[in-house]
Amino acid sequence: MKLFYRLRIYTLPFLAIAISSFFFISDVAQSRGKLILIDRATELKMGEEAYKEILSKAVLSTDSRLTGAIRSVGGKIARVASEPKFNWEFNLIEEVKPNAFCLPGGKVGVNTGILPIAKTEAGLAAVMGHEVAHAIARHGAERMSHSLLINFIGNVFMNRSPKYKRNRKLYSAAYGFGAAVIVTLPFSRKHELEADDMGLIYMAKAGYDPREAKKFWIRFAKYGKNNRESDVLSFLSTHPPDSERIARIEKLLPKALEVYEKSAKIGAGTPLL
């Protein structure tokens, strides 16, 4: 009996993988099978509410020129992304941490801290194209669906174990770490690479030179190396290794350049700072 409970605890993350994989391959309507348990209306509402909460706590930039640049570049990316259900909104947030996001519904936030790394409108287009791609591909809903499934499996199986009830905190921590590393992070890294691919095409369609994306990610990688706290945090990062990301962009560049040649050709655009 003890062996049974021990095996059950250790195999739960792998069972989660098996069930997740089943739902993935059974969804033939998507170009890549996806497990999405959240309907679109709920997803959009959650995005809008989360955006309002973020903005209520944020300090928005009063720099009209930079805010205008964010909205101009973002608007071009939004037009080529062609998502009619999104009510696009773009805001520049006063925050030194280099980051940007796009919530479901097209709710975009860009931190001022990423502007020195972006350098130009094209660098900004690389960032915003990437973040918009996450929302268009419904990566947030997909990750939330995986979490719901993993938590459901954990609750169903673990709560039936008397030993688990006596050691709830220990098993919860072990299960949570195993599930995150084995299931959640690989999907997240896949999402990051998908967003890179989609974002590169978006910026090219919008008229920005896709070769600037490679330059941006090289600068971003350099920033990351200079500001990384530990190898452990690097390993657990949801982002793919810098070399993998840059190599993938290089591989897709010929296709992106073909798209760019048919665009209005803005090039690198104007400098941001």
DSSP 45-62: HHHHHHHHHHHHHS-B--
Nearest one of 269, 139, 272 to 212, comparing CA atoms: 269
First to last CA, the chain: 66
Structural domain of residue 58, as residue ranges?
2-261
Q: Does a structural domain hold residue 270?
A: no
Which residues does the annotation mark as catalytic?
131
Q: Does a structural domain hold residue 220?
A: yes
Q: Strands 100-103 and 89-93, how do they pair?
A: unpaired
CB 89 within 8 A of CB 179: no
**Hey, what are 109's tokens?**
């936030």
CB 125 within 8 A of CB 206: yes
User: 109 forms bridges with which residues in the sheet?
Assistant: 91, 101
Which pLDDT score, from 0 to 100, does residue 37 have? 77
Per-residue pLDDT of the chain in tens (273 residues, 90 and over written 9): 333 334 344 444 444 444 444 444 333 334 567 777 778 888 899 899 999 999 999 999 999 999 999 999 999 999 999 999 999 999 999 999 999 999 999 999 999 999 999 999 999 999 999 999 999 998 888 887 767 676 666 666 555 555 555 555 554 554 444 444 434 444 578 888 899 999 999 999 999 999 999 999 999 888 887 776 544 444 445 567 788 889 999 999 999 999 999 999 999 999 999
Cα(103)–Cα(211) distance, integer angstroms: 26
Which pLDDT score, from 0 to 100, does residue 142 have? 83
Q: Domain total for the chain?
A: 1
Q: Does a structural domain hold residue 188?
A: yes
Which pLDDT score, from 0 to 100, does residue 34 have? 73
